[in-house]
Amino acid sequence: MRLDKFLVESSEGTRKIVRAYVKEGKAIVNGRVITINGLFPVGRLDKDTEGLLFLTNDGEFDHQLMCPGEHVEKKYFFWAFGLLGTEDTKRLETGICIGEDETLTKPAKIEVVKEGLYDDLKDEMDIGECINKKKNLYKQSVVSGYLTISEGRKHQVKRMLKAVGCYVVYLKRISIGEVMLDESLEKGQYRVVTEKEIQKLLEK
pLDDT tens track for 13-61:
777 777 777 777 777 777 777 666 678 888 888 888 999 999 988 878 8
What pLDDT does residue 46 have? 86
Which CATH number fits the domain 41-182+190-202, given the four candidates 3.30.499.10, 3.90.1150.10, 3.30.2350.10, 3.40.640.10?
A: 3.30.2350.10
**Under 8 Å between Cβ of 89 and 72:** no
Answer with the residue of higher pLDDT: 3 or 120: 120
Q: Is 119 a catalytic residue?
A: no
Point out the catalytic residue in the list 4, 46, 119, 182: 46
Distances in Å between the Cα of 100 and the Cα atoms of 103, 107, 167 are 8, 18, 19
In sign, the C-alpha dihedral spanning 102, 77, 50, 64 is negative
Residue intervals of the chain classified under CATH 3.30.2350.10 are: 41-182+190-202
Question: Taking the CB of residue 65, how many other CB atoms lie within 10 A of it?
Answer: 19
Distances in Å between the Cα of 75 and the Cα atoms of 2, 60, 140, 174, 186 are 28, 22, 26, 6, 19
Average pLDDT, the chain: 86
pTM for this prediction: 0.80
SS3 173: strand
With vertex at residue 51, the alpha carbon angle to CA 50 and CA 56, rounded to the nearest 5 degrees, is 115
Q: What percent of the chain has pLDDT over 70?
A: 85
SS3 74: strand
CA distance 133 to 29: 54
**Which residues make beta-bridge pairs with 111?**
146
**Which residues make beta-bridge pairs with 28?**
33
What pLDDT does residue 130 have? 47
